[in-house]
Amino acid sequence: MQSVQQSLEFLSALAAEGPVAALAKAFSAAGRELALVGGPVRDAFLGRPITDLDFTTDARPDEILGLVTPISQAQWDVGRAFGTIAARIDGQTVEITTYRSDSYDGATRKPAVEFGDTLEGDLFRRDFTVNAMALRLPELKLIDPSHGMDDLIAGVLRTPGAPEISFGDDPLRMLRAIRFTAQLGFSVAVDTAVAITEMRDSIGIVSVERVNDELSKLLKTDAPRRGVELLVESGLAELVLPEIPALQLERDEHHHHKDVYQHSLTVLDQAIDLEKSRHPGAAPDLVLRLAALLHDIGKPATKRNEPGGQVSFHHHDVVGSKLARKRLRALRYDNDTIAAVSRLIELHLRFFGYTDGAWTDSAVRRYVRDAGDQLERLHILTRADVTTRNRRKADQLAFAYDDLEERIATLAAEEELAAVRPDLDGEQIMRILGIKPSREVGQAYAYLLEVRLDEGPLSEEEATRRLLEWWAVRQEG
């Protein structure tokens, strides 16, 4: 965290030019109040990049629109009924919202919107004290009615008022608290944490889409592990992502297995580290992180106690893939995300059959073919799935996967492996066999693809010969 003086100097510089200065001047000239509020103020004191410019004012929406139109390149309603107008000023998007003093009915999280008259009143209704600070413009006065600065310095999340009232008004705030612990590296105040646990069932009135959004934001933080742990500890995970607490499998004195829950969290950590090292500067990969967290969710359903004190989880990859597809569909993830995550889970054990380079070139081609456009994510997930404390075993697996990636790269350079197709296309097959579009064309295509995977590329002449031989055998049968 930066010093208060450094942060105020930064905010002063921010307010001296660009959209902040333009808005401050326009609202002041009209006799209206304006303040930079919430996230940007918080992040300035934390020394974090400011990505959003959010303002609050005593002006009503129509007046806001009238004030921003002359100084902006575009304007639009984010939610006029909620008092919010957005605009594009000097290439930056800003949002300006009228002071509010909402009331909730307890049955939904949609408030009866009531516009307020004071900045302090608007701040007190916000989710957490660290988000309830504002910089009044143009005078650059910090307004902090709920002592958010003290909590910011202490690294603590608490609600401005009683947490029971805050979460009762809007249960989504419980998930936001968990997300902020990961995003900001903060802890949750004891009374706030207790309220989350006691009120967790109220998350049921929150739309699935909003739950999805918070879970996704949590997983896209730099270090989501603590947030996931709080999700489980609070009991919220049992309601929104029950497959994760289910990984805490019971043990007995005779049968032993590693802690699947802790293993999954470690795989998530390691996948993120690999993601950052292999693709520095890239946006967080939600698909990879979902796959890492969920990759072993098939284990509870497939756990078997074997003779000799061993525990097995046969086919947990296939079962886990189906469970992930079902859960992600229930959480309203898009079809592409669902397909990619479930495919990665289904394939995450495939590499462990690769020992001492024993796979044939055909097996390597099939590995690439089956992974398709998820190959790079599969590389990361498979490497991250090695959590053994046996350094020799970990090194052996890492060296083996290095070897596999090298073989994939070599074959790809030789054969354009990423786009493996038969040596003859459908049009050529129909012409050579003298047939029209039909099931037989697809069967012939599949046969030639298997030959391609087994033997590598063939010449057109050789592929034609093989096709005719295959067709002759079929005709005789």
Q: Which domains does the chain have, with CATH numbers?
A: 1-154 (3.30.460.10), 156-241 (1.10.110.30), 246-419 (1.10.3210), 426-476 (no CATH)
Cis check: omega of the bond before 145, within 30 degrees of 0: no
* H or E stretch at 268: helix 260-278
| pLDDT tens profile 111-150 | 666 888 899 999 999 999 999 999 999 999 999 999 999 9
- Cα separation, 312 vs 390, in Å, equals 20
The single residue listed with the structure tokens 């009762």 is 168
Is the pLDDT score of 250 beyond 70? Answer: no
Tokens read off for 34: 């304006």
* pLDDT score recorded for residue 43: 92
CA distance 134 to 119: 8
Whole-number Å distance between alpha carbons of 25 and 6: 24
Phi, psi (deg, nearest 5) at residue 410 = -65, -50
As a whole number, mean pLDDT of residues 360-371 equals 89
The pLDDT score that the predictor gives to residue 381 is 97
pLDDT above 50: residue 228: yes
For residue 252, pLDDT beyond 90 = no
> For the whole model, what pTM was predicted?
0.82
What proportion of the chain, given as a percentage, has pLDDT over 70?
Answer: 92
pLDDT confidence band for 242 (50 / 70 / 90): very high
pLDDT in tens, 42-93: 999 998 888 889 999 999 999 999 999 999 999 998 777 778 999 999 989 9
Q: 105-121 b/e with 16+ CB inside 10 Å = b?
A: eeeebebeeebbeebee
Contact of 451 with 458, CB cutoff 8 Å:
yes
Query: Exposure pattern of 70-95 as b/e (b: 16+ CB <10 Å)?
Result: eebeeeeeeeeebbbbbbebeeeebb
Note the pLDDT tens digit of each residue in 424-467: 888 999 999 888 888 888 888 888 988 887 888 888 999 999 99
Please state the rounded mean pLDDT for residues 371-382: 95
- CA distances (Å), 53 to each of 15, 56, 280, 430, 436, in order? 11, 10, 26, 61, 62
Mean pLDDT of the chain: 89
In angstroms, the CA 132 to CA 157 distance is 11
Q: Side-chain half-sphere of 177: how many Cα atoms within 13 Å?
A: 34
Q: What percent of the chain has pLDDT over 90?
A: 63
